[in-house]
A and B are shown apart, each in its own frame.
Chain A
Amino acid sequence: MTADAFLFWFLAALTIISALSVILMTNPIYSALSLAMTMVSVAAIFVTLQAYFLAGVQIIVYAGAVMVLFVMVLMLFDLKHELQAFTRGRFSGAFKIASIGSLAGLLVGAMYSARINSALTESSIAANATSKGAITPLAEELFLRNVFGFEALGVLLLVIAVGTVALSRSKGGTHARH
């Protein structure tokens, strides 16, 4: 067994286990910590796929900013262990799990039938990276070809920031009387 294969299986197991614990932990704080763990392991998987920049962004934005946001809110609410963490209804629960399982099976089956079986090798991106620096192709793609989308995202974030403030500071909705 090669080191690559070992690394993949290790990271895959780590990702799955931590993701499962996100949805299975009854205490939201544990869920949040498990989510952070998932983020970090996904970042590591990005590294194995030679997307170093994205791995960094993943750590900083997700595991840093977003997770801090989640934990902050949880602390704010001071939520304890929940008695009813999962939805009720035996029938609908069974139906939900059945559809999840069948969809998962279908997805895996689809991928198996697609047969992208060529072994993972050094990609051309990495080859370019040695000559021009690892970040350059991404930056060119992002800031030259997709510059409109990038700017639109900036506007969106601004709107979101304002909206979030408006939502959370009012007491009974944005149009409540004082």
Chain B
Amino acid sequence: MPDISILTTITPNHYLVLSACLFMIGVAGVLLRRNLIVLFMSIELMLNAVNLSFVTFSHSFGKVDGQVMVFFVMTIAAAEAAVGLALAVSIFKRFKEVNIRFFEHLKG
């Protein structure tokens, strides 16, 4: 019988790998999607992945510092979402679309 302890025994590593997967999905969204709002959602995904790591470490080290950091991250994330969406609204008002290509003026 093969060793299935990796399936049966849940370690912090499991949580961290899950966090990494979540983060990379967020990165993929940022890199590949063209809709500005979906881009923001992907950023939220990445932030959530980080939160998950924090909580995991907090739990495994038995300290609440990580949870405090999560609290901060959530606040920043909410603020970022608010500003980002305001920008999206401005863009939409002007171009009737929220495509990333309207942000392509940072050329060299």
Contacts and interface: CB of A to CB of B under 8 A. Distances in A.
Interface of A: 1-2, 4-5, 8-9, 12, 15-16, 19-20, 22-23, 28, 31-32, 35, 38-39, 42, 45-46, 49-51, 53-54, 57-58, 61-62, 65-66, 69-70, 73-74, 76-77, 79, 82, 84-87, 93, 96-97, 100, 103-104, 107-108, 111-112, 114-120, 123-125, 137-138, 141-142, 146, 149, 153, 156-157, 160-161, 163-165, 167-168, 170-173
B60 A163 contact: no
Contacts of A22: 25, 29, 38, 41-42, 45
Contact of B11 (A51, A119, A153, A167): A119
Interface of B: 7-18, 20-29, 31-35, 37-38, 40-42, 44-45, 48, 51-52, 55-56, 58-60, 62-65, 67-68, 70-72, 74-79, 81-83, 85-90, 92-94, 98-100
B27 A45 contact: no
A58 B67 CA distance: 12
Contact of B37 (A19, A74, A96): A74
25 contacts: A19-B26, A19-B45, A22-B29, A22-B38, A31-B38, A49-B58, A51-B70, A70-B41, A73-B88, A76-B89, A79-B98, A87-B31, A100-B27, A103-B24, A116-B12, A118-B60, A120-B12, A123-B59, A138-B67, A138-B68, A141-B65, A149-B72, A153-B75, A164-B82, A167-B90
A47 to B, nearest CB: 10
A125 B55 CA distance: 12
A19 B22 contact: yes
Nearest to B58: A51
A71 to B, nearest CB: 10
Nearest to B32: A86
Nearest to A153: B75
Contacts, number: 232
A133 to B, nearest CB: 13
A49 B59 contact: yes
B74 A58 contact: yes
The 9 closest A-B pairs by CB, nearest first: A23-B29, A124-B62, A167-B86, A104-B24, A107-B20, A160-B79, A164-B86, A168-B86, A96-B31
A102 B78 CA distance: 30
Contacts of B60: 116, 118, 120, 123
B24 A69 contact: no
A172 B21 CA distance: 40
